[in-house]
Structure 1
Amino acid sequence: MYYLSADLLFPSVDQANRDGILAIGGNLSPERLLLAYKSGIFPWFENGEPIMWWAPNPRMVLFLDEMIISKSMRNILNRNSFKVTFNQNFREVISNCQNIKRDGQNGTWITNDMIEAYCKLNESGIAKSVEVWQNEELVGGLYGIDLGHVFCGESMFSLVSNASKVAFIALVNQLKKEKYSLLDCQVYNPHLESLGCREIARVDFMEILKRE
């Protein structure tokens, strides 16, 4: 296991263990976080744990043209019962992602320190959010890191049915308009798979990431 020093560097992603853990320690400075994402690495840990940095193999991604929108979801979108905005209330989005209860999880990996770190990245225009509103209330959204050609999704939340899916679809449609290569979704889960995401080899992900 690689232990980070104060130096602003990471080992090669090829050194990650079978679980995808690459390194431990360091800090959540904006500079380190940006370097991590540009290097195919992201932080993921719980309160009370040291900072853990991941570079999983395989990697869960969405090639934008492969997004799946179910017939029922298309009907929901056609009703126009939700309003979508971009990057209008980042702190509230990430705070909701922190507080939402998730099946199979006792707590959250989004610590208060992480919220402050990503809010600083938002102020720099690197971290961005999608907000979903219903009757002027924030009911869903997501946030992630914008690398200009790859968007690294971090977390999403939903307070009413389908609100996070609306955010996801809105983001993908926007990324398609702006000719992004893909949406990074990090690790497999069946919900993401139902939306069209799939796993690819880490080496293939890194090749796309380095194109810039």
Structure 2
Amino acid sequence: MSQTLYQLDVKDLAFPPVELAFTEPNGLLAVGGDLQPQRLINAYSQGIFPWFSENDPLMWWSPNPRAIIKLDNLHINRTLRKALKKSSYKITLNTVFEQVIALCADAPFRDDGTWILPEMQTSYANLHHLGFAHSIEVWQTNSIDEPKLVGGLYGVAINGFFSGESMFYTSSNASKFALVALAELLRTIDVDFIDCQLLNSFLEDMGATEISRENFVAFKQTAINKEVPANFWQPRELPIN
């Protein structure tokens, strides 16, 4: 029996239950709607995210299985551990969000285009100004030049639930440093996982695994129920060990 793809109404912010997502393509739940902040917040609160290419309709996803990194399983190999100890990088939080998302959209390693289209960048910048989207920035520092942004990541946070969207690097290990810094930050409020949405080789190397949608929804809800200090996401420099 064929499934019918759910069409969102721009006047209605509701989504269908995630259990109705297609198995092929994996996780496609609905099309249409818009990227207004409240719809995005509703989506991420349910573990749903938008992902579409230029000239495609707006598509919403809830894949099964789901990729996450349990922070206790974050893989820091010997080479990265040495780099962390010797690093001249500076790590900051939420100081240049719009620059990070623009660089993620145009990351040098992307050879298949990007889903981070201008309308997506604008929408997530709006979420950032509302306190729901955040960036980690990695800066190369030396005694002569101004610090240079060489890596980073961004994602959406609903209380203790952080859903990573994308990352970039232009210098060795910079995106890994961003991920380690995010993990250390989230540990300070006893958050124990990062949502990675879909598995790829980089995330797998860093310790990501796949879990069922059912388990993910339970993990996600526990994280959303966790209270976060009011100043937790304020822009600042982050320590990294």
Task: Find the counterpart in structure 2 of residue 146 from structure 1.
Answer: 157
Query: 1:13 pairs with 18, 22, 26, which one?
Result: 18
Computing the radius of gyration from Cα coordinates, the structure with the larger value is 2
Task: Find the counterpart in structure 2 of residue 55 from structure 1.
Answer: 62
After TM superposition, give the deviation of residue 101 of structure 1 in Å. 3.2
For 2:58 and 2:187, locate their aligned partners in 1 and report how far apart those are by CA, in whole Å.
33
SS at match of 1:9: coil
Alignment: residue pair count: 211
For 1:181 and 1:163, locate their aligned partners in 2 and report how far apart those are by CA, in whole Å.
22
For 2:82 and 2:40, locate their aligned partners in 1 and report how far apart those are by CA, in whole Å.
39
1:207 has 2:218 as partner: yes
After TM superposition, give the deviation of residue 188 of structure 1 in Å. 1.1
SS at match of 2:136: strand
Runs (5+) with no aligned partner, structure 1: none
Query: 1:176 pairs with 187, 212, 218, which one?
Result: 187
Task: Find the counterpart in structure 2 of residue 101 from structure 1.
Answer: 108
SS at match of 2:52: coil
CA offsets, 1:108-144, max 9 Å, x none? 1001000000001100111000000002000000000
TM-score (norm 1): 0.97
For 2:113 and 2:74, locate their aligned partners in 1 and report how far apart those are by CA, in whole Å.
30
CA offsets, 1:56-84, max 9 Å, x none? 00000011111110000011111122110
Change (3 A) 1:80 1:101: closer
Query: Is the Cα contact below 8 Å between 2:152 and 2:174 reproduced in 1?
Result: yes
Task: Find the counterpart in structure 1 of residue 175 from structure 2.
Answer: 164
SS at match of 2:63: coil
For 1:27 and 1:35, locate their aligned partners in 2 and report how far apart those are by CA, in whole Å.
12
Q: Structure 1: which 4+ aligned runs deviate by more than 2 Å?
A: none
Query: 2:124 pairs with 118, 121, 126, which one?
Result: 118
Q: What letter matches 1:125 in structure 2?
A: G
Q: What letter matches 1:107 in structure 2?
A: G
Runs (5+) with no aligned partner, structure 2: 142-146, 226-241
For 1:86 and 1:59, locate their aligned partners in 2 and report how far apart those are by CA, in whole Å.
26
Query: Is the Cα contact below 8 Å between 1:149 and 1:181 reproduced in 2?
Result: no
TM-score (norm 2): 0.86
Q: What letter matches 1:128 in structure 2?
A: H
CA-atom RMSD, angstroms? 0.9
Q: Identity of aligned pairs, percent?
A: 44
Query: Is the Cα contact below 8 Å between 1:149 and 1:182 reproduced in 2?
Result: no
Query: Is the Cα contact below 8 Å between 1:68 and 1:194 reproduced in 2?
Result: yes
For 1:89 and 1:101, locate their aligned partners in 2 and report how far apart those are by CA, in whole Å.
19
